[in-house]
Amino acid sequence: MSPIEIALEEARAAAARGEVPVGAVVCAPDGRVLARAGNRVEELHDPTAHAEILALRAAAALRQSPRLPDCSLFVTLEPCPMCAQAASFFRVRRVVFGAYDPKGGGVDHGARVFAASSCHHVPEVIGGVREGECGAVLRAFFSGLRGQGGAAPLDPPLG
Amino acid sequence: MSPIEIALEEARAAAARGEVPVGAVVCAPDGRVLARAGNRVEELHDPTAHAEILALRAAAALRQSPRLPDCSLFVTLEPCPMCAQAASFFRVRRVVFGAYDPKGGGVDHGARVFAASSCHHVPEVIGGVREGECGAVLRAFFSGLRGQGGAAPLDPPLG
């Protein structure tokens, strides 16, 4: 299974827990999965518990190092500004994401964190990988919520 | 002691642990301190362990809620983009900070997270509170490191 497929598995597992379905994987250069995580914001009462942050922290804990300069972060959705800046702080080599997020993204939209001159480490970015499937998981989740009586906002922040 | 003075205490305690000296406090509307924290990036091998994130997560855990809409975040340094976005996600009412950070800040500098149209919750921001003392703690820390043989980069990211 490719890293983005594993991230999709994590996204689907997050949906099953009632979380906004975003999944993330941190890989070593040889493709080995160091950490995988899904969104756990609701479960942990913690809006910083995005899939990317959880996976990056787990990989760094495994390595006993705050820096992951040879690693790639795979995530099903364009990272928000918080997660984009975190990926920069962890010094990841590459960020690969699935669906674009015009409403909450912080890489190709909004604050465009990596484009700021004060961003000291800018990873390589590849967006739109398995975009259709990654976006479909999110759309299915939010349309299900709306079907239950409008529990979701009309314009949910996805990141 | 005022919240920013408590944050300064946390910053000095962080310096004593060998951490970049930034401290943060989350206060309820009546001024009661819900959480206080200093930077623990080195200790935890975790670049997301900024003072702001640790204090916000602790306050949310105390409240058993991911949202702190009546709370203020006090921090000795302008938050970086990661922490600014986190403050928005926690829905804090107000962000009060000490020193400005032209090199790593994400509120009045760089990515200017709160100014992005995709920032769904924009707190009130008050910068420059006890600016001199807050900056002095950081300058003393970095000049001490340089005195020890250049362990610090010349332009350290502070946030």
pLDDT in tens, chain A (159 residues): 999 999 999 999 999 999 999 999 999 999 999 999 999 999 999 999 999 999 999 999 999 999 999 999 999 999 999 999 999 999 999 999 999 999 999 999 999 999 999 899 999 999 999 999 999 999 999 998 877 765 444 444 444
CB-based contact A123:A93 (threshold 8 Å): yes
Q: What was the ipTM of the complex prediction? A: 0.91
**Per-position pLDDT tens, chain B of length 159:** 999 999 999 999 999 999 999 999 999 999 999 999 999 999 999 999 999 999 999 999 999 999 999 999 999 999 999 999 999 999 999 999 999 999 999 999 999 999 999 899 999 999 999 999 999 999 999 998 877 765 444 444 554
Average pLDDT along chain A? 93
> Which residues from chain A sit within 8 angstroms of residue B39, using beta carbons?
none
pTM: 0.92
Q: Which of residues 67-86 of A touch B (CB under 8 A)?
A: 67, 80-86
Cβ of residue A122 closer than 8 Å to a chain B Cβ: no
CB-based contact A92:A79 (threshold 8 Å): no
User: What one-letter code names the amino acid at A135?
Assistant: G
3-state secondary structure of B3: helix
* B5 labelled catalytic: no
Q: Give the pLDDT score at B146.
A: 77
> Which residues from chain A sit within 8 angstroms of residue B56, using beta carbons?
48
Q: Give the pLDDT score at B126.
A: 98
Q: Give the pLDDT score at B71.
A: 98
Could you say which of B42, B52, B131, B133 is catalytic? B52
CB-based contact B52:B77 (threshold 8 Å): no
> Which residues from chain B sit within 8 angstroms of residue A42, using beta carbons?
66
- Of A47, A86, A119, which has the smallest distance from its Cβ to B90's Cβ? A47
DSSP 8-state secondary structure symbol assigned to residue A113: G
CB within 8 A of B91, min separation 6: which ones?
B67, B68, B69, B121
* Cα–Cα distance measured from residue A37 to residue B33, given in angstroms and rounded to the nearest whole number: 32
Alpha-carbon Rg for chain B in angstroms? 15
* Cα–Cα distance measured from residue B16 to residue B6, given in angstroms and rounded to the nearest whole number: 15
3-state secondary structure A3-46: HHHHHHHHHHHHHHCCCCCCEEEEECCCCCEEEEEECCHHHHCC
